Chains A and B, each alone.
Chain A
Amino acid sequence: MNMKWWHIGLIIALVLAGGVSLFASSSPDGLERVAIDHDFIELGEGHEVIRSPMPDYVVPGISNETLAASLAGLIGTLMMFGLVYGLGKVLKGTSVK
């Protein structure tokens, strides 16, 4: 099989997002920590401007939390690749030169 370098890169990203991410720390991150310590974390809970299909990196409607989180990571990673790859193709295709 003829694996290109970017196939390997994509596989690494999928393993990270679908597998390793399940072991990620759930503690608040840097900004959230500062926001909690200084009482402005609630400002982050504004009204919803749009309804996200997968809020908080969980696929809705799946009762197994691990599976729901892993799937969200895989879907997001593939979506990122597809979207930016497509964007690149479009930008390249419409080049003025």
Chain B
Amino acid sequence: MWVIAILIVGYAVRRTNEKLGERHVPMMGVLAAFIFAAQMLNMPVAGGTSGHMLGGVLSAIFLGPFAATIVMSTVFAVQAIFFQDGGITALGANIINMGLIGTILGYYIYQGIQKAVGGEKGILIGAGVAAWIALVLGAISCALMLWTSGVVPLGVALPAMAGIHMFIGLIEASITVVVVGMVLKSRPDLLELQKI
């Protein structure tokens, strides 16, 4: 997982390096700060379980898939190194499940819906749907990794992980839509940065 994560993040660094502009830099910083903060906010879901947002789709909507990949990977690295959250050995898997699936896969889902629906409505619907799908896919990917690592049988891991994350996905979708909606209202130009 580390190897796959390094390859994709490395590619993202190259892409970003080629295209990054002056106005992207504060956006990357603010998104990193916001996503770090938002990931601390566990909200109760069901039966003594909580969930928090991830933010991959949110950051990709503003920055595009590759610059967003750098933001998300840095957030997970800081959590593991400075806050002992997630772990160093699991960092590769965490970057893939909670970062790349949102920033890359989620971004293209968002883009597809946004273009199909069009306008502000397209942006908001795309944001919500992509955020939900990306979070659930991340959970499914995590279940597959647990299974292939021999931790739990697939028949156990898959329904358990997908089930609870269908609810957590609602948190992801609503925060993503609210933040994008607020920016659309107050500073729509911020959504027009070149996507990297």
Contact = CB atoms under 8 A, between A and B. Distances in A.
B78 A81 contact: no
Contacts of B29: 6, 10, 80-82, 84-85, 88
A51 B154 CA distance: 33
A34 interface: yes
B116 interface: no
Contacts of B42: 24-27, 29
Nearest to B167: A30
Nearest to A76: B36
Contact of A16 (B25, B37, B70, B157): B37
A43 B149 CA distance: 12
Given A26-B50, A84-B29, A12 B34 contact: yes
A73 B87 contact: no
Contacts of B75: 80
B63 to A, nearest CB: 10
Interface residues of B, number: 61
Contacts of A82: 29
B20 A91 contact: yes
Nearest to A96: B18
B30 A30 contact: no
Contacts of B43: 24-25
A56 B160 contact: no
A96 to B, nearest CB: 7
A1 B9 CA distance: 39
Interface string A57-82: 10000000000000011001111111
Interface in A2-39: 4-6, 9-10, 12-14, 16-17, 20-21, 24-31, 33-34, 37-38
B161 A88 contact: no
Contact of A57 (B17, B30, B71, B83): B83
Contact of B41 (A21, A30, A81): A21
Top 10 closest pairs, chain A to chain B, by CB: A85-B29, A17-B37, A84-B32, A88-B25, A52-B84, A25-B50, A55-B84, A9-B30, A16-B37, A13-B33
Given A49-B89, A89-B25, 7 more contacts: A33-B49, A80-B36, A83-B32, A85-B26, A88-B20, A88-B25, A91-B17
20 contacts: A5-B187, A6-B26, A10-B33, A14-B33, A25-B42, A26-B42, A26-B50, A27-B44, A29-B49, A30-B49, A34-B157, A37-B160, A50-B81, A50-B88, A52-B83, A55-B84, A56-B85, A73-B40, A84-B71, A85-B28
